[in-house]
Structure formats: C-alpha cells, structure tokens
Structure 1
Amino acid sequence: MRLVDLSHAIVSGMPQWPGDDQSLRVVRHSEHGPSSCESSRVEFGCHIGTHVDAPRHFLAGAGGVDDMPLERFAGPAVVVRPVPGVGPGPLPASLLDGIDLEGIGFVLFDTGWSRYWGQPRYYEDWPWLSGELAGRLASCGLKGVGLDTPSLDGFNGRRAHDLCAAAGMVNLENLANLGELPTRGFSVLALPLKLAATEASPVRAVALFDR
C-alpha cells in the first residue's frame, strides 16, 4: 500500500483565519531527564490546519465529528483540476461535466492555492465553490468534498457549506499535495479526533493506493 500525505504541518505562529484564534499552543509539563520523560499539553482550535467540518458546523442539530460513522470520513476519490493558475473567485459547476462520479465518495479540488500556505495571502481570498457547483455536488450522494483552500465558500459566504451540510457531507479544508495525485484510482482517509460535541477537528488526511 502506498500513502500520500494530504495534510499541512501545524506549527506555532502560522497564518490563520482572520479574527479566529486557532493558534497552536504547546506547553511542556516535563522534559527528558534521569527520572522524567517529555510530557506536553496541546491547545488548538478545531479548524486549525488541515481539518474536517462536520454538518454540525453550519446546520444546527446535525452530526458532529464524534457521532458520525467512521465510514463517512473515508472512501474512493477523484481529483478535479480547474484551469492552471486559477485565481480567487467562484469555481463553476462545469468543472464536473464529463466526470463519472458513480461509486465515488469524495471530490477533491486541486486549485493550486496551497502554494500560498504559510503566507498571509493564503487567507486574503481564494478559489471557492459556486452555489451551482456546491448544489451539483450535494445531489450526487457523496460523502464529502475537499479543497486546498481555507474554505468551501468565500470569506463572507456560506452557501456551499449550507448545501453540503444539508446533504450530510463532510468538508475537508486546507488540503495539501493534491498535485501529487492522479485524477482517480485512490481512496481518501481523513479521520477526525473523537472530540465530543464539536463541529470540526484537525485530521491527518491521506490518499491510499493499493499499490
């Protein structure tokens, strides 16, 4: 089995969603010594780094990351690649034209925006799902959708989140290394921490190949 890491490293001081403190804080309780070992406490926001949004994020009463079946976070995937160098703005529904989604669990959009990860520009504006595109995805019986951008929506939008949440889908955001993947022939695994009564969780997302 071959794995491709689709997650960004979480580091202190990295850029984050404007006005939303998702900062990583690591507190060392003890260090290595003759009679001690290293022990730490970690604090972070649920939407830090590469993470998954459960429907509960935008839909009251919907499932959170702790009560959704694990099967919802894994499945066969395809990669959709917009025009190289696509800039900020809505991605059109026509990107799905001619793509066979039969038996597919996840659609991943490789916009190339992850090249700005770690830079302030990453969170200034980005490619996002148009309402029409999100609606088509929500009607396909998918488990989830993923992007290499901060959000399914633009900075002040929520239409894509609402449509996907209503369809019971999970959202993978801030994905990395999508350019290393073929358009199909692999599965995605993005298990959240089992955080009780929460709407999101960091994940170690990976693409799995049988060989």
Structure 2
Amino acid sequence: MVPARRPAARTARVGAALALAATVALLGACASDTDGGGDGTSATEETTEPDGDPSTEPSTEPTDDATDEQQGLPDAATMDVVAGAHGKGLPPGADAPTEGGTGAAWSAEPGLLLVVTFGSSTCPLLAEDDAAVEGSDVVVSFVDIPADTACTMDYVPATSVVAVPDDVDPGADVSVVLGDRGTVVVPPPAEGAAGEFAWTAG
C-alpha cells in the first residue's frame, strides 16, 4: 500500500500563497512611492526663495543726510547777498590764501559782511545771521556743528552773509572777531563795491 502524500501538497500550496503575498506587498510598496505622479522627491522639494521683493528691504547704504546742508547751498558767486545767506565756494573777488583760513570783507550791499570759512564740504562752518558789537569789535559767531556729525576730510570754502549793527561805521577800519578763528581788520570798501578781504592764518 503506497503512503499518502497530502502533507507535501499542502506545504506546496502554503509556499505558493506566501510567495504571492510577498509579490503583492512589493507591488503595493512601489505603487505608494510613485503616487501623485512623477518623481517621488518632487513633493518634498520646495523653493527656498525669500518672501517679498528684495528691493523693498531696508538699505544699509549710507544716506545723503550728512551732505544735505552743503549740497543744498547755492554757489557763493551767484547767490543773493542778503543777511543769513550761505553759499559754497568763494564770493566774487575773493582771493583766499593757499592754505585757507577765515576771512571777512564788506559786501557791496550796505551793512553786510561776507565771511568765508574753510572746512569739510559735508560740515561747512557757517556764520550766524547777525553780528554783535562788543566794545570796538564786531563779533561774528558760528553755527555749532554737532560733535557726532560724520564729516568728510576735504577742505573747501563756504561763504556766509552777516548783518552788522547800524552803529558800525563802514567808512573806517573795523576790527572783526571771527569766533575762535582769530581777529581781522576789515578795510572800508569803495562806494558801491565789495571791499577787500582780510584773512586770519589758516
């Protein structure tokens, strides 16, 4: 009598079922990797461009605020000669020393002095609008420049027009104190013309 072989047949069926299950699982894994279409990495790759327009970000470049005062000044050669006027450069007829300095002269307009200073183009030293009289001297004061102001290292002239009190006689030599820059003696002008400049040391 031949022995039955049912156990072997059952084992073969179990093995085939396991192989089929493994194949299905593998196909399912592949399908999940490509769901959504295209390259599976495309879903995770995102742009890293910054939000907003870069041109709207605050600039770190220095502004022109520090130079506004000098850039806004008219040319001294063509500016109106009125009390309180300021200009860059020298007025007509002024012949400044090579080393610079501070100077004063009568303008062609009665009662007005022209005061020239040398300094930074971004921080010009400008005279106050009105002079004072102290004893026999005409005293010119200057506008303070804040200590924390950033100034360029150039050395250029600036001109201020200063009103002188009516009791000062322009027909005689006048001692003019130019702040802490020194004192000059300004000679009288010819009638209807600007006078000669007197200069302190540079």
Q: Which has the higher contact order (CA 8 A, sep 6+)?
A: 1
| Structure with the larger strand share | 1
TM-score using structure 1 length: 0.28
Larger radius of gyration: 2
- TM-score, with length taken from structure 2: 0.28
Greater share of helix: 2
